[in-house]
A = this chain, B = another copy of it.
Amino acid sequence: MAQLSDLDIANKATLQPISDIAEKAGIDANALEQYGHYKAKIDINQIKRREQKGKVVLVTAMSPTPAGEGKSTVTVGLSDALNHLKHNVMVALREPALGPTFGIKGGATGGGYAQVLPMEDINLHFNGDFHAITTANNALSAFIDNHIHQGNQLNIDQRRIEWKRVLDMNDRALRNVVVGLGGPTQGVPREDGFNITVASEIMAILCLARGIKDLKEKISKITIGYTTDKKPVTVADLKVEGALAMILKDAIKPNLVQTIEGTPALVHGGPFANIAHGCNSILATETARDLADIVVTEAGFGSDLGAEKFINIKAREAGFEPSAVVVVATIRAIKMHGGVAKDNLKEENVAALNDGIVNLERHVDNVRKYGLEPVVALNAFVHDTDKEIEFVKNWANTHNVKLALTEVWEKGGQGGVELANEVLDVIQQPQSFKHLYDLQTPLEEKIETIVKTIYGGSKVTFSSKAEKQLQQFKANGWNHFPICMAKTQYSFTDDANKLGAPEDFEITIRELEAKTGAGFIVALTGSIMTMPGLPKEPAALNMDVTDDGKAVGLF
């Protein structure tokens, strides 16, 4: 029998009306704003706050292969398993970007029998959140260019505008553009560029805001560029924070959907995990904690990226502590870190596992550095052999690491019961959670702490540009911000090819970016892509829609 695609499986699932899911989740009918039959937005003002909030389980991963290790799938499957075990659980995920859908990448709604549904809608426009963010971002660009065109009262230096336009599209031709051409009535010519929408600071802000008021305050603090005498210019100077927040008035409401097994899911926000913090919205996570005893959530890439930012940026801003951390690992990723080439990952290779396990080991150690006890979810793939699985289990035993084989892709929640039980065990235990650094520490020391403690590096080098920026940022009063590292997800180093668990390496900070609205300083290592391109044969070529409106060829 031919293997079913994720969309096939999704199409075979019987969805429950979203009003039933809401009722199950304890969401009042008047808090529910339906978007079609199976999606809704939640009016969070109508959600009862509870004193004993739900516990947060964070799902992270080892350093992934380019295909990804199924973090979303395990997150969904774990929540279904907990649901299965009669726990009051919700899952809180990021929204996928639309642009990459047309390129190579599959959706970001899980896979197999561990998906959030309706996957075709969640992967396309969903409830319009990303479009609203695109609009707010580009309205700000229009306001900036209009301000300069109309006399430039604020004295903005058009060579020092940091704010870029965005589209939710993979479109390399927009990375570097010149705008304002065509003469004096068509604006002022300047260099600009487009990022993909998930890279917008507005996206990061939406995900870190505690409500409309906080959203507006954070937007007002965005630094859009500098004056000719190098003073920061903010959105507040342009007086458009009200208009921009208004554009986002619905996007800020968390979206309710369901897993394939009917577990309530909040899917909301999706900032890049490289130049932004890579976590779903605080509002969604906190709303879930008011509704459920256990909230399963994830953060982009490995413990070195998303999880580090989840703890030091998101959880700190929200004021909660995670109660458990799951580290997703796969046999194929461990083999890759053991030096096996991409094309040979399907072949049994225990020796390579032995070489590559150090990568997983460092991720496990990283979690312990926050005072948390990790659970490794070994996410089963069809080519894994018994010997290989046995090797990883033995490693876990000898290293005193909790590990569960998960088969949620194939079996749904039933395939995650072992993992769920391990997680339940951990969240009963007392933990001694701590952040990695104090906010008042100087910026360069915060960066060094991350590099040495989490990456395992020995030294941080700052480019002369970054050195200069450190001084400027401190002079601007920006020392207290947490750090948002921008680094390849494939390696603990800033070189994607250095696999395993390298030691004694240097990280070079090429440049800093001040996201004073979102409230973090981005430290850029290597070259970070903020606008992807399409491949020679885009996935779009296989996409279609039936005469009665059903999506075809979407994953």
Contacts and interface: CB of A to CB of B under 8 A. Distances in A.
Interface string A513-555: 0000000000000000000011110101101111111111110
A145 B169 contact: no
Nearest to A536: B150
Nearest to A151: B536
Interface stretch (A34-42, A199-207, A261-269, A382-390): A34-42
A10 to B, nearest CB: 15
Contacts of A185: 172
Interface in A402-452: none
Interface string A207-249: 0000111001000000000000000000000011011011101
A538 B98 CA distance: 31
A306 to B, nearest CB: 27
A258 to B, nearest CB: 17
Contact of A540 (B34, B41, B150, B240): B240
Interface stretch (A174-182, A317-325, A499-507): A174-182
A176 B321 CA distance: 50
A383 to B, nearest CB: 31
A28 to B, nearest CB: 13
A436 to B, nearest CB: 33
A45 B139 CA distance: 37
A173 B151 contact: no
A274 interface: no
B246 A552 contact: yes
Contacts of A167: 138
Contact of A135 (B34, B37, B98, B551): B98
A132 interface: yes
Q: What is the total number of copies of this protein in its complex?
A: 2
B544 A246 contact: yes
Contact of A249 (B138, B213, B240, B549): B549
A544 B242 contact: yes
Contacts of A45: 548-549
Contact of A544 (B149, B245, B554): B245
Contact of A186 (B175, B212, B213): B175
A388 B324 CA distance: 78
A146 interface: yes
Contact of A181 (B143, B176, B187, B554): B176
B150 A171 contact: no
Interface stretch (A123-131, A349-357, A392-400): A123-131
Contact of A246 (B132, B143, B551): B551
A222 to B, nearest CB: 15
Interface in A242-286: 242-243, 245-247, 249-250, 252-253
B551 A142 contact: no
A169 B36 CA distance: 27
Interface in A45-78: 45
Given A131-B125, A146-B534, A242-B543, A33 B33 contact: no
Contact of A173 (B176, B180, B246): B180
A538 B144 CA distance: 12
A430 to B, nearest CB: 38
Contacts of A250: 36, 121, 125, 549
Contacts of A553: 242
A128 B255 CA distance: 15
A194 to B, nearest CB: 9
A354 B551 CA distance: 59
Contact of A36 (B35, B37, B245): B35
Contacts of A35: 33-36
Contacts of A212: 545-549
Contacts of A216: 545
A145 B173 contact: yes
A13 B430 CA distance: 54
A460 interface: no
Contact of A541 (B170, B179, B239): B239
Interface in A281-327: none
Interface of A: 33-37, 41, 45, 98, 102, 121, 124-125, 127-128, 131-132, 134-135, 138-139, 141-143, 145-146, 149-151, 167-182, 185-188, 211-213, 216, 239-240, 242-243, 245-247, 249-250, 252-253, 533-536, 538, 540-541, 543-554
Given A35-B36, A242-B545, 17 more contacts: A34-B34, A121-B250, A125-B128, A128-B131, A142-B169, A145-B173, A146-B533, A150-B535, A176-B182, A176-B186, A178-B181, A187-B533, A212-B549, A216-B545, A242-B543, A246-B543, A253-B549
